[in-house]
Amino acid sequence: MDAPIAVGAEAVVTVSEFLGRKAAVKTRVPKRYRHGELDRRIRAARTRNEVRVMQGARSDTVRTPVVYDVEMSGCSITMEFIEGVRVKDLLDADPSSSKEVCPLIGEALADMHNRGIAHGDFTTSNMILMPDGRLCIIDFSLGSINVGTEEMGVDIRLLQRAFSSAHSAVEGGFEAVMGSYVEKKTDAGTVLGKVEEIKNRARYT
């Protein structure tokens, strides 16, 4: 196997080549604490879901990796390798880059939500700023389509928490994200109301 670039809780990502193109291969590895057949089915379902949501999320404004190949038996996705810098690393190294990147985050999220797609794990670790200045969204394993305001609210709440913990040095970052989100999202008020509800729910339960 090629050298891994990331080893997560559920998946290993390696760099490879597909028909002469640089590719990223994301493989969901077996979990020994889960029963063999059940484990295989869970990994297959998540792989299938990730491909479906990643492809569905792509639009003129939202960049996602192009899927080159899917191998259901091995639970792996071969996709376009996205060059650039993870937004988490960028903001850690240079908090002032938030002026450039935060509006892009809000715009991408609004565009996905306008089409009924929630990401499910919308943190700055799952975004890559490409050399051409565009933002690519990755890791759709917890994503869903045809969602309601609840799932949209969860995306926003997760990002808000990331900005208040991991990116506390970035001043006004979350507000900048929301500025562009509200501009692009139809009926943004309903989602913002839901975000408040989720926050209060967490406080009192």
Whats the size of the chain, residue-wise? 205
* Listed ranges 29-37, 73-81, 94-102, 107-115: which one lies at the site for ligand ATP (CB under 6 A): 73-81
Residue 124 binds to Mg ion (criterion: CB under 5 A)? no
Residue 116 binds to ligand ATP (criterion: CB under 6 A)? no
Asked if 39 and 112 count as a contact pair (C-beta separation under 8 A), the reply is: no
Which of 57, 75, 82, 118 contacts ligand ATP by CB under 6 A?
82
Residues 6 or more apart whose CB falls under 8 angstroms from that of 172 comprise: 98
Give the span between the Cα atoms of 143 and 151, in whole angstroms. Answer: 9
Give the span between the Cα atoms of 107 and 113, in whole angstroms. Answer: 10
Asked if 151 and 191 count as a contact pair (C-beta separation under 8 A), the reply is: no
* Listed ranges 4-12, 67-75, 106-114, 176-184: which one lies at the site for ligand ATP (CB under 6 A): 4-12
Asked if 139 and 121 count as a contact pair (C-beta separation under 8 A), the reply is: yes
> Smallest distance from the beta carbon of 46 to ligand ATP, in angstroms?
7
Nearer to ligand ATP, 6 or 38 (CB): 6
Interface positions with ligand ATP (CB under 6 A): 5-6, 8-11, 13, 24, 26, 65, 79-82, 86, 121, 125-126, 138-139, 141
| Residues acting as catalytic residues | 121
